[in-house]
Structure 1
Amino acid sequence: VKDLPAYLAVASNTSGSTPKDLFEDVAEDLEKQ
């Protein structure tokens, strides 16, 4: 999982939210596409 660009973007941008919350948001966005 850590090799995914989305995960790396989330892991490097943890402002205000936990990495898990941000990752879930990204996952939801990917599902909507």
Structure 2
Amino acid sequence: MNHKTPKNSQGFTLIEMMVAVSIFLKRLCLISS
């Protein structure tokens, strides 16, 4: 269960990218407002 397969790592990276982008956009909105 501890093995990290390329498919799983890519999936997690995609999710992390989406979360990071959403948080980044929220911060921009707070700063601009």
Higher relative contact order (CA 8 A, sep 6+): 1
TM range (shorter): 0.3 to 0.5
Normalising by the residue count of structure 2, what TM-score does the alignment of the two structures yield? 0.47
